[in-house]
Structure 1
Amino acid sequence: MRRERLSTRPSPDARHDFLVELRGEPLPGVRLTLRLVPDLLVPDPASVVAYLAEFAGFGDGLEALAVAVLDDINNELVPRWVEVAVEGDAPLPHRVAIEDRQPTWDNPSLLGRLRRL
């Protein structure tokens, strides 16, 4: 049901690689950063807010949260590349990052710049 909250619109130009970065708080004290290189679809930011609200009460840990978001984004948007980073401070600083990409996509120049951000 939470995937239904994600809405998309056509990419303004699928010929070019560009980065979309969205940030939100799916749970109190938990910060999520979603970065993706769209293919044919881009996420509607307002729908991402509604989507993240669906995780209220999610208690399976940051690793499971990151995997769930990655799976949902891959299924709904099919981006060329996607990274989900989730972090919290309690009971101690904890960060999880996971990424995926389409098998035939590669842009070393773009990915190299992302590593420095």
Structure 2
Amino acid sequence: MRRERLTTRPSPDARHDYLVELHGEPMAGTRLTLRLVPDRLVADPASVAAYLAEFAGFADGLEALALAILDDLNNELVPRWVEVVLERDTPLPHRVAIEDRQPNWDNPQLMGRLQRI
């Protein structure tokens, strides 16, 4: 049901690799950074905000939330590369980062420009 909130449009030029970064708050006190390299589709940012609102009562932990978001994005957008980072400050600082990529996709120049932990 929540995946239906994600609307897409064609990538303006699927021949090129480019990075999209979105920030949101799926639950109060939880920060999301979503970075992806689109393939054929890009997400409408307003739909991502509506999609994130579906997680308001999610209580299974940051790890499960990160995996749910990753699965949804992989199913709806099929990005070349995607990274989901979730952070909370309470009760203790907690950060979860997960990434995935299409088989055989690599762009060392683009990936090398990203800030890493």
Could you tell me how far 1:116 is from its partner in structure 2?
Answer: 5.0
Write 1 or 2 for the structure with the bigger share of helix: 1
Paired residue type of 2:68:
A
TM-score computed with the length of structure 2 as normaliser: 0.98
Unaligned runs of 5+ in 2: none
Question: Which aligned runs of 4 or more in structure 1 are off by greater than 4 angstroms?
Answer: none
Identity between Structure 1 and Structure 2 (%): 81
Q: Aligned partners of 1:86 and 1:25: how far apart in 2?
A: 9
Instruction: Tell me the C-alpha RMSD between the 2 structures.
Output: 1.0
Structure 1: gaps of 5 or more residues:
none
Provide the C-alpha distance between the structure 1 equivalents of 2:8 and 2:34, rounded to a whole number of angstroms.
Answer: 15
- d(CA) in 1 for partners of 2:39, 2:69: 18
Letter in 2 for 1:5: R
Alignment of 1:1-117 (within 5 A): 1-116=1-116
* CA positional deviation for 1:104: 1.6
Q: For residue 77 of structure 1, what is the amino acid of its counterpart?
A: L
SS of the counterpart of 1:114?
Answer: coil
Query: What are the Cα deviations for residues 15-73 of structure 1, in whole angstroms up to 9, with x where unaligned?
Result: 10000000000000000011000000000000000000000110000000000000000
Aligned residues: 117
